[in-house]
Structure formats: structure tokens, C-alpha cells
Amino acid sequence: MIELRNINYRAGDFALNDISFSASRAEYFALLGPTGSGKTLLLKILAGLIPPSSGGVFFDSEDVTRLAPEDRAFGYVAQDYRLFSHLNAVENILFSPRVRRLPDDAKGILLGDIVSKLDIAPLLKRRVTNLSGGERQRVALARTLASRPSLVLLDEPFSAIDEGLKKHLWFEIKGILSAAGVPVIHVTHDIEEAVTLADKIAVVIDGKIRQTGTPKDILLRPSSERIARYLGIKNIFVGRVVSGDSRGYLIEISGAVISAPVPPESLAVAPEAGDEVTVCARPQSVKIIRPSEAVRDELKENMFDGVIVGAYFFSDSVSVFVKCGDLVWEARLPHAVYHRNELSVGKKIIIALWRPDVMVYK
């Protein structure tokens, strides 16, 4: 188990503040946050490349804070992989075994094992400058695995990969690392990448861990408006609590009344009647209601008449903007739903918010 305890670090105007988290051996752990939030710095502290100002790094309960990087056996894969351009692919892979003066027969067995796992035999004699993004990633991963790491630290490992290939590689790389039985800490700014790959996520914003949880926790229950905004939740409105009880709240926003569930105790201070609050709803939680269709209970309390004022097409969905009174809601719909309902700009429709997903922040 890897554990960071109260890590602090200051570099100029930027600081990491009181960072603590732990990841078990079985977990694929992601550090998610915007660019410049301190994720890479944190990864380098974990790798021993930068000493923290205070706090400790523990691996299997052993304090490794003062251990040199070469003595930690944590495989660090830098952004863009940083393959050594003066060596070919196989020389890159055998870099660590050569540094550690492994006997030739042991090197051969290790190489054979890694080459078959990553299916990279055709790449071995190639110059690394001639490899594609995906090939470079495999060679970098092979080089790291050849060092027989007890933990793999990946810094934005898919940032140099074409969008189309990226999602295919996510599962492949995770599969390879799982098969190798190595725990992973993966730094990324890509929300989809983190929620798809990770078993547990820590959200890092401005040098602090703002929330730790499963992908579902993070996506459906961001612990603050700031995280909700970072996660790209678009429907964010400021309103006032009309009433509240153990079932939830009624919140008035620009003349519309929204019904919201009580947020989990761990997430926020419970608002009271009259308090100003922020209401958030993910575009995926805004549904289109067909007049003939039976409406589920979770949708009944937040139904609004509106008119479509904009529609933007993405490769996997359509963003539809619906004006209801003074509010414009964004709904994210599958292409099929958009076309089946013959939606278009100017059309009058009914939308409903999936009540369990409505979030309230004081």
C-alpha cells in the first residue's frame, strides 16, 4: 500500500498543501485535476525525484520519504514517455537491467517475457524516433516493467496519443498492468480517462486534494461547486432555499422551483430555508419527456416547458440547449433520441431533471 501523509511543498507562488491519500496494491489510482494543479509535482514527490518540504511517503508501511529514486523501485513514466533517443527500442527496454548489471541469461528471460506480454517483437530493433505514439507508449511501458517496479507512476500517459486510438489503448494498458500485478498511480487531466480506468480517484485542484472516491462518487456527487465546474457540469444556477426537510429541498431559481435531494452529510453543510445555494445538474441528467410517455417518479417533480434554442453535435451525442423561463438548461442526448423525437431549434418540448442527480451546494 502506498500512502502520502500530510505532504507540503512550496515552489515560488505554487504550493502543495497538506496532501494525504492512500492507495491499496489492488487499486488503479488516478490523480485527476486541471493543468497546473500540482499532479505531476505530487507524482515526482512519490517517485523521490523532488523531496517534500514536510510530510511522508510510505510504501507497505515503510517510510521511503528520504530514499533516493533509484532505491525506491517505483517505475516513473514521464509525459511523452521520454524514450532515450540515443538508444534503440530494445536498448531502452534493457536500460534498467543493464544499470542493475543483471546477468545476460536473466536479461534474456525478462526481455522475452515483456516482449510477449506487450507484443512488441517487431519494434525491438527500431530507432525510437521512428516509432508512432502508441508504439512509443508500449516501449516506455516495457522499459518500466523491465525495471521490475513495485509501483508504476504514469504521468499523462495518453496525452500524446491520437484521440481515436486513445480509448482502445486505455483498456489494453490497464490490462497489461493488471496482468503484471503492479499497482498504478495515474496522473491525468482527462476526466473520461480517469473515470474509465481508475478504481479510485483523487481530484487535485490548486495544490490540494479536494475529493477522493470511486469514479461514481466523483461523477455523481462532486463534493463542491468547484469540482462540479471542473468536471464540466454545465447546468449551474444560484438560487434560494424555499423549504427543506429530511426528504430534500425546494429551491427557487429565477421563478422556477427545483426539487433536490438532501446531499450526503459528508459532502456539504446542510442549507436552511432562506440560504443562497448553488444547484448543479449534469447535462446527462436532463431528460426529454414525450407527451405520450409515462413519467418516472424521479422526474415528476422537476418538469419544465421550454423551447430548444441551440443544438451542437458531438461524435457520440448531441448537446441541446432548452430555454425554460429565464433559465437555459443543457441536455446531453444520444443521437438516436435527438432524431427519434424530431428535435430541432425552435421546437417546444418538455424537459425533466433526474432528481437524485440534482446537487446542492451552500
Partner 1 sequence: MKKNILPVIGYLALASAASFLLVTMAGLFWKMAETAPQRAFSAHRAWFAVRLSLSSATLSTAIAMVFALPSGYVLSRRRFPGKNILETALLLPMVISPVALGALLLIFFNTPPGRLVEKIIGPVVFESRGIIVAQFVVISGLAVTLVKTVFDYVSRDYEDTARSLGCSETETFFRVTLPTSARGLAATAILVWARALGEFGATVTLAGATTYKTETLPVAIYLALASADVYHTGVLIILSFAMAFAVLFLLKTAAGVRDSYPSH
| Interface segment toward partner 1; rule CB under 8 A; list 82-90, 239-247, 255-263, 311-319 | 82-90
Scan residues 18-47 and list those touching partner 1 (CB under 8 A). 44, 47
Q: How many whole angstroms separate alpha carbon 174 and alpha carbon 120? A: 17
Compute how many other C-beta atoms are within 10 angstroms of the C-beta atom of residue 264.
10
Shortest Cβ 335–partner 1 spacing (Å): 41
235 binds partner 1 (CB under 8 A): no
Residue (43 or 351) nearer to partner 1, CB = 43
Scan residues 118-177 and list those touching partner 1 (CB under 8 A). 143-144, 147, 149, 153
How do the residues of the chain divide into helix, strand and coil, expressed in percent and rounded to 5? Answer: 30, 35, 35
Which has the closest alpha carbon to 350: 311, 306, 318? 306
CB 53 within 8 A of CB 42: no
Residue (144 or 188) nearer to partner 1, CB = 144
Residues across the chain: 362
Q: How many whole angstroms separate alpha carbon 216 and alpha carbon 263? A: 15
Shortest Cβ 93–partner 1 spacing (Å): 10
Compute how many other C-beta atoms are within 10 angstroms of the C-beta atom of residue 207.
22
Helices (H), 119-264: 133-146, 163-180, 191-197, 215-220, 225-230
Q: Which of 62, 68, 179, 297 binds partner 1 (CB under 8 A)?
A: 68
Residue (75 or 244) nearer to partner 1, CB = 75
Q: Which of 26, 99, 309, 345 binds partner 1 (CB under 8 A)?
A: 99
69 binds partner 1 (CB under 8 A): yes
Q: Which of 55, 65, 95, 236 binds partner 1 (CB under 8 A)?
A: 95
Q: How many whole angstroms separate alpha carbon 176 and alpha carbon 162? A: 20
57 binds partner 1 (CB under 8 A): no
| Interface segment toward partner 1; rule CB under 8 A; list 21-29, 64-72, 208-216, 218-226 | 64-72
Compute how many other C-beta atoms are within 10 angstroms of the C-beta atom of residue 118.
20
Residue (96 or 278) nearer to partner 1, CB = 96
Residue type, 227: I
80 binds partner 1 (CB under 8 A): yes
Place of cell 525525484: 49
Instruction: Write out the residues near partner 1 by the rule CB under 8 A.
Output: 44, 47-49, 68-70, 72-80, 82, 84-86, 95-96, 99-100, 143-144, 147, 149, 153
